[in-house]
Structure 1
Amino acid sequence: AVTRDLKAIYQAPTEEAGQQALEAFAAAWDSRYPQISRSWQANWPNLATFFAYPTDIRKVIYTTNAIESLNSVIRHAIKKRKVFPTDDSVKKVVWLAIQSASQKWTMPLKDWRMAMSRFIIEFGDRLDGHF
């Protein structure tokens, strides 16, 4: 439920709608998790720049979080084993998880062509030599 309400913020069509979604989130969740809305509110000027991008670029940004994805893969690999006899065994499991995840990094992103077209329109000269 928390995640669903956070999505309403960053998937909002405009900055104003995002601000309203943040206020609704705070009203619903501040009694249990006040630090979440405080953090968003304190950083709103930086977060709000996200709304300056067209929707298709914003979607690529919020669905392509490599760090979160990698952390998830590592957590999953560690949870499966629960007990490790040595520090080296932990390192090996983490290394294997990263190797497995890195093989998937070559897969194309969903809707990437549409987003890349939009990037070219928005930032044309800044993309020379990057594709």
Structure 2
Amino acid sequence: MEHKNVQELARLVRQHRLQKKFTQQELAECTGISLRSIQRIENAEVWPRTYTLKTLATQLGFELDQKEPIKHIAARKLNQHQKLVLTFGLAFLLILLACAFVFQSPTFPETQFELSLYVAGVIVVYTIFMLIIWR
């Protein structure tokens, strides 16, 4: 989320709310958005969800800039615990799938070289996933 755009949205919502002579509480009641959410939006603490943003725009009478897509609702960032769970869960899943592939074939691997390539492939796949998760 870009800091500048969050600040602009906060200013826009506050400005239009005051023009309509709404208090934050009145705006919350007429939109169905919680008072705390209105406060956080006006304090530039969050970028609202698309539905919330459209509701505010409709109620307060401002238009959303359609030239620039709402990219601020980007993929949710994972916290440290979620990344750890994904790391170990994916490792466990990859090991199970790799073993399942080996066990289903009575002739695989035929050589140690074939096994080495297979293990290297599994490690590469796991490394790519870790790079994505931990970027």
Per the normalisation by structure 2, the TM-score is 0.25
Tell me which of the two structures has the higher relative contact order, counting C-alpha pairs closer than 8 angstroms and 6 or more residues apart.
Answer: 2
Per the normalisation by structure 1, the TM-score is 0.25
